[in-house]
Structure 1
Amino acid sequence: MNSIRKQEGFEGQKAIVLPKKILEVCQHTAPVNALFITDVGFYPRAQYHYRERPSGISQNILIYCIEGKGWLEIPAGRFEVNPNHYLIIPANMAHKYGADEENPWTIYWMHFKGSQSIYFSSVLSKQAKSFVNYTIFLEERIRVFDSMYKNLEGGYSLDNLLYSSISFQYFLASLSFADKFTSGLHAEKDQVDVSITYMQDHLDKSLTLEQLAASVNLSVSHYSSIFRKKTGYSPIIYFNHLKIQRACQYLLFTTLRINEIALKLGIEDPYYFSRLFTKIMGVSPMEYRSKKE
């Protein structure tokens, strides 16, 4: 069983845990299945942050420290983690890690899987010779992470999953091959992107299909068509995915009751909220909260 010294959240933290059904899509959809994120987040000055997993987990773990200090303990020994260090823990490897008590680390972290994840883990660990490594700080690396996170935060369309998979490879390259790292491209938003941003800004509302279409000045039929074509989902289902993603964060990082979380997401019926959450995440809200790391 995992040991946790920090139950409450860290101010400014953010995290996304992909639903079970979305992970199944990742596992069976090329080329996403080569490498994909299962969990991702950012913890600033994560005081008392600590994890202990005697049997490891099925995902590979990557932690990139930009400020403060921490440590990693694996069968190969104990290693100090300083600013601009990243640590890699291969899947199923026993481990402990935590923040320095006096100068806690600020970290970007990711759990990942995929048919090529062993290869990428090996590259990061220099063929299992070094599990903590130094890399130069690059602003573009942070922008890549933010873009990757923002796209996952924007929902689980195939486009977003593919973009995040490719961006993650780019992020890994920035760690292992910093001298070869180059700036990425930044695409302008189309009407579907604008609509998703509108959804994100109104997660506390119960919006109709007509309201969503009107927000980008399109007819309902045309809006629904282009939205489904780009994301693979209807607008309302996509909106619900975003609501449940936000619900996961409330469950992980707050002590709000289920009915309070439902209301924050514009859902007055807590029973409907629980059914929707269970349908999307595969577990009930209470089960999800009880299993948080």
Structure 2
Amino acid sequence: MILAPATPTLRREGFPGQRMRVLPRPLVAEARRTRPLSPLLVTDVGYFPRASTHGRSRAHGAPEHIVIVCAAGRGTCTLPSGVHPVHAGQALVIPAGLPHRYEADADEPWTIWWMHLVGQQVPDLLAATGATPDQPVVGLGDPARVISLVDTILRRMERDETTASLLASAGAAWHAMALLAADRPTIGRQQSDPIAATIEHLRANVATRISLADLAGMAGLSVSHYAALFRRATGYGALEFQTRLRMGTARELLDTTDRPIASVAAEVGFSDPLYFSRQFHRIHGMSPTEYRSHDKG
């Protein structure tokens, strides 16, 4: 089957709210020669929310293996084996060098989290997912957990391009691929609660302020629907819940260390110690200094 060129109106990127990181190719070449990174390296990663008119066509395939997780909406992928629909809660796996075209549905454009992978052990990881060039779409037993890991990759690569960040990204990608392989849906098994999965993600990233739109994207829900479900589950809005998580960690640091208030504030993601103190007082009814001196236990 010969792939026709993509429709000219399709866009590669440029969607409101999108996030994306692409490593410089000289850095990719250098990293692939580095032993800790040679088994698996994330070269590109991104998040495209409700990506209307999104699409890519590669007549000779891509140099990297591509994994696209559909959080909401739908799309299609055309391979030599035919046209394959992609729906929310599924992942599209395209091996390197395979000609392909994928695009968002015109009526229900997909929200996708995606990554490009290279490395000696990536083909084995892709094979373990069960995806093949004839059947490139696999179901996800726990989409929110996989999306959370792709978000972790994106946040590390947004931070910097150091070896430490590339290693952390590789570890998260390995975990995500393992989940694709191990947690495929089985008959009668119920998928996990996407709200609970995003709360778990917040607990694991206390110092990072994560927007409501990003959280909704992880869960594959609209912002309004996600916000309502989150408040029903926790009794708080998502941003207030994050603030209270951060204050919980701050209390622990105040109780168990002698670190200055500014250091505690920075540890839980507040660059301004005065703003941190105001938020702490709002929640606890006393300043961090008063809390530390107060008899407890």
TM-score bin, normalised by smaller chain: 0.5 to 0.7
Structure number with higher relative contact order (C-alpha < 8 Å, ≥ 6 residues apart): 1
> What do residues 117-152 of structure 1 show as CA deviations (whole Å, max 9, x unaligned)?
221222234455521111123433332222221111
| Counterpart AA for 1:13 | Q
TM-fit CA distance, 1:97: 0.7
Partner residue, 2:286 = none
Alpha-carbon spacing, 1:40–1:2, altered in 2? closer, same or farther (3 Å): farther
CA RMSD for the aligned pairs?
Answer: 2.8
C-alpha separation in 1, matches of 2:30 and 2:86: 35
Stretches of structure 1 that go unaligned for 5 or more consecutive residues are 190-215, 218-293
Question: Which position in structure 2 is the counterpart of 1:170?
Answer: 175
Deviation at 1:186, TM superposition (A): 4.2
Gaps of 5+ in 2: 186-191, 208-261, 264-297
The offset of 1:21, in angstroms, is 2.7
1:79-106 deviations in Å (ceiling 9; x for gaps): 1111101011111101111000000000
1:147 equivalent in structure 2:
152
Within 2, Cα distance between the matches of 1:144 and 1:14?
15
- Within the candidate set 14, 20, 25, 1:15 is matched to 20
Letter in 1 for 2:164: D
Asked whether the equivalents of residues 71 and 79 of structure 1 are also in contact (C-alpha less than 8 Å), the reply is yes
The DSSP-based 3-state class of the residue aligned with 1:150 is helix
Q: 8 Å contact 2:139–2:184 — kept in the other structure?
A: no
CA contact (8 A) 1:148 1:163 kept: yes
Match of residue 34 from structure 2: 29
| 1:45 alignment partner, one of 28, 50, 61 | 50
The question of whether the paired residues in 2 share the 8 Å contact of 1:36 and 1:114 is answered with yes
Q: 1:19 and 1:77, CA in 2 relative to 1: closer, same or farther beyond 3 A?
A: same
CA distance in 2, matches of 1:87, 1:179: 13
Specify the alignment match of 2:84 in structure 1. 79
Shift of 1:30: 1.5
Q: 1:113: which partner in 2?
A: 118
Q: Tell me the distance in 2 between the aligned counterparts of 1:82 and 1:52.
A: 19
Whether contact under 8 Å (1:65, 1:86) holds in the other structure is yes
Q: Quick check: 1:124 aligned with 2:129?
A: yes
CA–CA distance in structure 2, aligned partners of residues 92 and 108 of structure 1: 21
Percent sequence identity over matched residues? 29
SS at match of 1:162: helix
TM-score, length-scaled by structure 1: 0.59
Matched length: 191
Structure with larger Rg: 2
Q: TM-score, with normalisation over the residues of structure 2?
A: 0.58
1:196-234 deviations in Å (ceiling 9; x for gaps)? xxxxxxxxxxxxxxxxxxxx99xxxxxxxxxxxxxxxxx
Q: Distance in 2 between matches of 1:154 and 1:146?
A: 12
Counterpart pick for 2:70 among 46, 52, 65: 65
Cα 1:146–1:7 change in 2 (3 A) is closer
Aligned residue type for 2:170 = S
Partners in 1 of 2:85 and 2:34 — Cα distance? 38
Q: What amino acid does structure 2 have at the position aligned with 1:39?
A: D
SS at match of 1:172: helix
Whether the aligned pair in 2 keeps the contact of 1:47 and 1:101 (CA below 8 Å) is yes
CA distance in 2, matches of 1:66, 1:188: 23
